[in-house]
Amino acid sequence: MKSNEMIKQNKQKIGIYGGLVTCLIIFTVLPPLRGQSLWTVSKLSTLMSDVIVLALLSIGAVFIYSLGNIDISVGKQVGIYSTIIVALGNTTDSLLPGILLCIVIALVIAVINGSAGDLLNIHPIISSLVFMMVLGGVSSITYTQLGTRNISLRTVDYSIFKNPLFMFLVLVIEFIVIGYFFNYTKFGKYAKAIGANQQVAKQCGIHIIKYKIISYIFFAITIVTASLFQMGYTGSASDSTGTGFEMNVMVALILGGMPLSGGMKSKVIYALIGSLTYSLLNIGLPLLGVEPNQVFIIKAIIFLIVVLLTSRKKYGVLPR
Amino acid sequence: MERIMNIFKRVMASIALPLVMFLVMLWATHAAGKTYYGTWPMWRTLIISCTAMITTAFGIGIQFKSGRFDFSGGGIMLMAAIIAGRVAEANNNSMLIFVGLSLLVCISLSLLVATVYVFGRLPIIIATIGMALFFESLTTLIYDGEGINLVANLALKKVGTYPTVLIPLFFSIAIYGFYSRFTVVGKQAVLLTNNQQASVNIGIDEKKNVFITYLYSGILYGIATTIFASAGIQKAAFTSMSTVGSLFSNILPVFIGLMLVAYCGDTIGIVLGSLTLSLMSFGLSAIFSAEMGSSISIIITGLFIFGINVFSAQGKHLLEYLKTGILKRRQVD
């Protein structure tokens, strides 16, 4: 009886962690029957390469999603930052000028995205939609002018960004840093409070615009970090770099159990769980002999099952 | 007299956007030595691209104004285009089968989305993202993931050419207008958007409303599919959520339509919004190279959307501020 109640109370947690654990068990037990294994250095390296950009972005995005906002410009930002880092890397023989320029641009975008909604009384998604379009257009013009669809680093050594251990280290550091700011400082606490009820947060004296901008700045820094790894994996950038990342981030966060309406139940761990589950499916399903085009439908069905199990049911009116 | 002036003001406010856009682009294209802009052949091509945008925008708009941000429309249309196109091709390019199946598939899939949303009790974004992923993954499985290419199929492409394209245009306007103005469900949807809990408390059956609204959006997506299917090569979606981007490029007229709602209603507003954006896109493509023109068009459209949203949110305050300023200056004089 008690265990039933416990399961009922922790249904959501069981669903979220259970998804990841089930994936791990399935992909550990079944592939050896086909002479394959997930636990080899090469497969774990592939997993790390697959998860790193998504996880870095998703962890940063927790700040935005906890506000109840969605940023759909992230894919185009990754694309343009990767392009800048490669282009300036070739010009200056160093990655630093490109990184610094990207940080400046990312901060400007963060300030605008964070403040536009409340200052101009528009829906927060509008400013990120505008950035998505503007950056997409700028990227397209850049590559049209260059006369190519792809640029590569020529002289700068970027091998460190392909090192799985370095990827793991950066991921752990980002998780700890963002986790600390999100859970133990007023930045994260206020972000969650704003997401839970902006009016109440305002009445409690929280400076809404200031803390929204700070949340977007945290995300901006993680976007630049993720762009470095995106660029570093192949040492190149193209006009399609970053395409669809905004949706991947959203899917990973939903899969991890993040409430899209934001609020106090937002957690950084959800981003990590969601990204890991998503990448595990990408790497693990082919090991079971699933054809590449069948991977999509299995992922879609798993996504639906997980969200049906874990989503908090709102009785009365239908959830929006 | 006052009534006539009022109607005149509303008409002028409604057509101001497309008219200004046309005049600016006409001047810019002629200054660049491109005389194609403003000619009858341009209008014919523009009507086709505009109709594709309008029909899709109506499908998205019907959910958007009901307070639902629906991501599944692109996946639904892609599935319908592939199934209807393939089956029609296999049946001597039967137009009847093509149009019928486009409608049937879109309506069925839309109702499936409504079922998952209503009975799964998931937030609408999560439910529609899940269904979009599901439909996209199905496109990679059916017909070996080859998609559909109707670009050279003159028989099935006919519905997407002038003057036949006016038929789906007319039907989509009629259906959206009918839903918004003459149905109880349409009016209840507005109530649900404004105060969901109060609307349910006064007896509105929300579940029934969702199903009927999705039926209408399915019909509109079906009409849009008849044009969308032959507009280009429709490949299976091998990248997750790739259909969302193309779907939401058609949401822009909805924003303009909702902004113009006070002057001409959202039905005409969406038509005028699509016309404005198509006029801009055609003009820029004429001035610059096709690729460059489309890139610049994307940037300007983005800034345009920003401006429109800011104006619709702040326009009243801005006008009040200007009026107060003028009055103060007069008092000083």
How would DSSP label each residue in A174-226? HHHHHHHHHHHSHHHHHHHHHHH-HHHHHHTT--HHHHHHHHHHHHHHHHHHH
B138 and B264 belong to one structural domain: no
Asked if A297 lies within 8 A of B291 by C-beta distance, the reply is no
* For range A233-237, the mean pLDDT: 89
Q: Which of B250, B279, B306 is the last residue of a domain?
A: B250
Q: Name the minimum distance, in Å, from the CA of B61 to any CA of chain A.
A: 16
DSSP class per residue in B122-135: --HHHHHHHHHHHH
Mean pLDDT of B85-94: 93
When pLDDT is averaged across residues A31-45 and rounded to a whole number, the result is: 89
Inter-chain CB proximity A137 and B295 less than 8 Å? yes
Listed by start position, the domains of chain A span: 53-248
Q: What is the pTM of this model?
A: 0.82
Instruction: Look over chain B and give the mean of its residue pLDDT values, rounded to a whole number.
Output: 86
The ipTM value here is 0.82
How many angstroms away from the CA of B147 is the closest CA of chain A? 13
Look over chain A and give the mean of its residue pLDDT values, rounded to a whole number: 89
pLDDT-derived band at B309, boundaries 50, 70, 90: confident
Residue A314 pLDDT more than 70? no
Task: Tell if the CB–CB gap between A243 and B239 is shorter than 8 Å.
Answer: yes
Predicted local distance difference test score (pLDDT) of residue B106: 96
Mean pLDDT of B315-332: 63
Domain count, chain B: 2
Share of chain B above pLDDT 90, in %: 36
B189 CB contacts (<8 Å, ≥6 apart)? B65, B66, B209, B213
Q: Minimum mean pLDDT among A237-246, B183-192, B312-321: which range? A: B312-321
CB-based contacts of A213, cutoff 8 Å, min separation 6: A110, A111, A114, A115
pLDDT recorded at residue A313: 64
To the nearest whole percent, how much of chain B has pLDDT over 70? Answer: 91
Sheet strands (E) in chain A: 150-152, 236-238
pLDDT, residue A9, reads 67
Nearest Cα to Cα of residue A40 among A52, A27, A51, A53? A27
In angstroms, the CA B8 to CA B14 distance is: 10
Best residue in A112, A130, A146, A301 for a mutation probing chain B (most B CBs within 10 Å): A130
- In this structure, the answer to whether residues B127 and B270 fall within a common structural domain is no
Contact B126 A254 (CB under 8 A): yes
Residues of A within 8 A of B79 (CB-CB) are none
Task: Measure the CA angle with vertex A98, ends A92 and A101; round to 5°.
Answer: 130
pLDDT band at A8 (very low <50, low <70, confident <90, very high): low
Tell me the chain B residues in contact with residue A300 when contact means C-beta distances shorter than 8 Å.
130, 133-134, 136-137
Sort out which chain B residues have CB atoms less than 8 A from A247's CB and list them.
129, 240-241, 244
Query: Rounded to whole angstroms, how far apart are CA atoms A194 and B238?
Result: 37
Name the closest residue on chain A to residue B141, using Cα atoms: A293
What digits encode the pLDDT tens for the residues A276-303? 998 998 899 889 888 877 888 888 888 8
The reply to whether B61 and B158 lie within a common domain is yes
Containing B24, the helix (H) or strand (E) segment is helix B2-31
DSSP β-ladder status, B148-149 and B233-234:
antiparallel
Structure confidence at residue A5 (pLDDT): 73
Closest residue, chain B, to A113 (C-alpha): B306
pLDDT of residue A291: 85
User: pLDDT at residue B289 above 80?
Assistant: no
Q: CB A319 to CB B129 under 8 A?
A: no
B297 and B322 housed in the same domain: yes
Per mean pLDDT, which range of A215-229, B40-54, B205-219, B312-326 is the poorest?
Answer: B312-326
**Predicted pLDDT of residue B332:** 63
Same domain, B64 and B101: yes
Mean pLDDT calculated for residue range B98-104:
95
Same domain assignment for residues B132 and B264: no
Distance from CA of A131 to the nearest CA of B (A): 7
Nearest CB to A297 within list B141, B239, B295: B141
Angle between helices B95-120 and B124-141 (to 10 degrees): 140
Q: What is the pLDDT of residue A216?
A: 96
Whether B241 sits inside 8 A of A247 (CB atoms) is yes
Name the least confident of A2-6, A120-124, B180-184, B317-321: B317-321
- Least CB-CB distance to A244: which of B124, B242, B292? B242
**How far apart are the CA of B140 and the nearest CA of chain A, in angstroms?**
6
Q: Measure CB to CB from residue A133 to each of B141, B238, B299 and give the nearest one.
A: B299
Contact A293 B291 (CB under 8 A): no
Read off the pLDDT of residues B241-254 as tens digits, 9 standing for 90 and up.
677 767 767 778 88
pLDDT score of A306 more than 90? no
- Cβ atoms of residues A69 and A213 within 8 Å: no
Residue B149 confidence (pLDDT): 87
Does B173 lie in the same domain as B286? no
d(CA B117, CA B125): 9
| Average pLDDT of span A110-127 | 87
Say if residue B244 is in the same domain as residue B256: no
Average pLDDT over residues B10-15: 85
Residue A140's closest chain B neighbor by CA?
B295
Domain that holds residue B303: 1-38+251-333
Same domain, B129 and B111: yes
pLDDT value of position A121: 82
pLDDT band at B34 (very low <50, low <70, confident <90, very high): confident
Choose between A124 and B225: higher pLDDT.
B225
pLDDT at B211 over 90: yes
Q: Which of B247, B204, B300, B220 is nearest to B78 (CA)?
A: B247
Q: What is the mean pLDDT of residues B272-289?
A: 87
Cα separation, A130 vs B248, whole angstroms: 12
Q: Note the pLDDT tens digit of each residue in A56-73.
A: 999 999 999 999 888 888
Q: Which of B250, B275, B296 is the last residue of a domain?
A: B250
pLDDT given for residue A2 in this prediction: 66
d(CA A300, CA A148): 35
Q: Judge whether A253 and A58 are in contact, CB under 8 Å.
A: yes
Check B309 against A126: CB less than 8 A apart. yes
- At residue B322, does pLDDT exceed 70? no
Q: Which residues face B123 on adjacent strands?
A: none
Average pLDDT for A199-212? 94
Mark which of B200, B216, B250 sits at the end of a domain.
B250
Chain B environment of A133 (Cβ under 8 Å): 298-299, 301-302, 305
pLDDT band at A305; cut points 50, 70, 90: confident
Tell me, yes or no, whether B117 and B241 share the same domain: yes
3-state DSSP: chain B helix, strand, coil percent, rounded to 5? 80, 0, 15
**A136-172 per-position pLDDT tens digit:** 889 999 998 888 889 999 888 888 998 999 999 999 9
Question: Which residues on chain B are in Cβ contact (under 8 Å) with A137?
Answer: 295-299, 302
Across the strands, what pairs with B313? none
Q: How confident is the model at residue B175 (pLDDT cuts 50, 70, 90)?
A: very high
The pLDDT value given to residue B333: 61
Q: Are residues B244 and B261 in the same domain?
A: no
Asked whether B305 and B255 are in contact (CB, 8 A), the reply is yes
The closest of B114, B120, B54, B104 to B277, measured between CA atoms, is: B54
Q: Give the closest-approach CA distance of A288 to chain B in angstroms.
A: 18
